[in-house]
Amino acid sequence: MAKQKPQRSGNGVIYYTAIVIVALCVAIGLYYLIPGVYHPFSTDTASQHFAHVKTSLGFFVGAVVFLGIARFTKPNTTQ
C-alpha cells in the first residue's frame, strides 16, 4: 500500500488576513525608513524628521511573524 500525503486543512480567512498584514507591515516599515518625512507615533518634531530604524525593524519582524502564520494556515488548493 502506498502512503497517503498529509492534507492541509488551513483556514482561508486567517491566511488571507495574514497576507494583508504582511503587506501592511512591509509598507509601514519602508515608510519609517524615509528621512525628511513626518512619521506619526514617533519622536519627530514639526521641523526635524528622521529615519526610524528600530521602528522599521519592528514592523519587518512583524511581517516575518505573519508570513509564518500565513505559511502554516494556507488552505488546501488541490482536490
* DSSP structural state of residue 8: P
pTM: 0.79
Separation between Cα atoms, residue 24 and residue 40, nearest integer Å? 15
Separation between Cα atoms, residue 76 and residue 8, nearest integer Å? 5
Q: Where are the domains of the chain?
A: 19-72
In this predicted model, what pLDDT tens digit does every residue of 6-53 receive, in sequence order?
666 677 889 999 999 999 999 999 999 998 888 887 877 777 888 889
